[in-house]
Amino acid sequence: MQPNKLKTRNRSSSLHVLTNGMQLEKDVNHHLTGPFLPQTPLGSAASSRTASPVPPYKKLPPPQPSALLTWAIDPLVAFKILIVPVILYINWDLITPFVDPSLQSRNPFAPLFLLSHRVPASSEEDPRYQKGYLDLLFIAYYIVFWSCIRQIITVNICKRICHYFGIKKQVKIERFGEQGYAFVYFAFFGAWGFRIMSQLPSFWYRTEHFWLNYPHWDMKPELKCYYLVQMAYWWQQLIVMVLGLEKPRKDYRELVAHHAVTLWLVGWSYLVNLTFIGNAVYMSMDIPDTFLAFSKLLNYLQRETAKMVVFAGLLVTWSYFRLWLNLRILWSVWNEFDLIPDEAKQWYPESGAWLVWWMKYQIFTPLLLLEFLNLFWYYLILRIAYRAITTNTATDDRSDDEDEGDDGKED
């Protein structure tokens, strides 16, 4: 009798569960829990839904640098940092004559913004300078200097130009500012580099003088200043990329590689006393980059005729400076390296000689990498030129497409 009773109870229990299950399936709330419950109570007359509790998507602002790097984005902070050593330098010169006149010539604030390590035996008519550790202070000071200049040009000058010409999209204003800063920099240093090369035996790309009479350890003051200020610029550009102050372009990786190769070339050429070849490489980059930046500015201003003329200048200067002259420099490294005097073919930093046999490959490698990058960008330029001929429009694939995909915000 007991098993039959057990079976009866099981059937009854199963029937009860089945009935409850059917009722649950009819309940529309059965599978909805927590925040997924209907916004309107069931059976109520109101059928409208309340606003979604999920807040609308908002574009997050770019990360801001720490307080120690505020000078990189705030020109006023950068200016304050720059002016303090100048004030201290002036005060030192004014006060020390009354305390100890011999201290006036040893101003401790001078290395921050004035050249250091003058060659003692050089004359007043032809002063010469050598490299030294105080050059690092000079570079650090001018990194802040370029940050200040960059922000003044991009924010205070180029933004007003954009408003004057009716450019309102924020991303285009930022791009215009970047190219405005690049144009000012490359135009100035292209002209300055030409002036300096005209004073050197390597003018105009007489490559044998890169090696003859090596080591070129004693520099004219203008050459040393030019070299260190350029170095500060490229370090400042690296900081801009690391902090994300500029929106990455499609060729971001190539730009990172270009910055790394440039700093490699600049640093090593200065260290091993190859400033003649360094000046030649600077020239080959700065002059075509001036045309590149100017053509982009005209593109944002929608000055089509002027843009096409400047773009033609870019095509010519890029072909000559960044391809042909860089190939001549590479040829010189490979074929004229042995013009170095025999007594200088040793690793003896105390005498300024660094060029042992394997340094030939250390010099050649970054120059070759730079040439590959130049060819990559030359391909992009030729593609734009082809489009200009076939469709009568010349647009930069790296920037214009990005701008069109970002609505930005109106000012």
On the question of pLDDT at 140 being above 70, the answer is yes
Ranking 41-45, 111-115, 184-188, 308-312 by mean pLDDT, the lowest is 41-45
pLDDT confidence of residue 47: 46
pLDDT confidence of residue 398: 53
> Mean pLDDT across the chain, nearest whole number?
83
Q: Which two tokens stand for residue 47?
A: 């059928």
Q: Where are the domains of the chain?
A: 130-404
pLDDT confidence of residue 250: 73
pLDDT confidence of residue 1: 46
Alpha helices, H only, 198-245: 221-243
On the question of pLDDT at 364 being above 70, the answer is yes
| Mean of pLDDT values over 400-411 | 43
pLDDT confidence of residue 285: 94
List pLDDT tens digits, range 4-29.
444 444 544 544 544 555 554 555 55
Please give the sequence-ordered ranges of beta strands (E in DSSP) within 220-315, or none if there are none.
none
pLDDT confidence of residue 393: 63
The answer to whether residues 236 and 146 touch, using CB atoms and an 8 Å cutoff, is yes
| Mean of pLDDT values over 170-197 | 95
On the question of pLDDT at 189 being above 50, the answer is yes
Mean pLDDT comparison of 35-44, 62-71, 95-104, 376-385, highest-scoring range: 376-385
List pLDDT tens digits, range 206-242.
999 999 999 999 999 999 999 999 999 999 988 888 7
* Helix, strand and coil percent figures for the chain, each rounded to 5: 70, 0, 30
| Mean of pLDDT values over 30-39 | 47
Q: How confident is residue 197, by pLDDT bands cut at 50, 70 and 90?
A: very high
CB-facing half-sphere around the CA of 231: CA atoms within 13 A: 25
How far apart are alpha carbons 221 and 128 in whole angstroms?
A: 6
List pLDDT tens digits, range 36-87.
444 444 444 444 445 555 455 455 555 566 667 888 888 999 999 999 999 9
How far apart are alpha carbons 56 and 29 in whole angstroms?
A: 26
Q: How confident is residue 410, by pLDDT bands cut at 50, 70 and 90?
A: very low
| Mean of pLDDT values over 363-387 | 92
On the question of pLDDT at 271 being above 60, the answer is yes
Q: How confident is residue 181, by pLDDT bands cut at 50, 70 and 90?
A: very high
pLDDT confidence of residue 103: 83
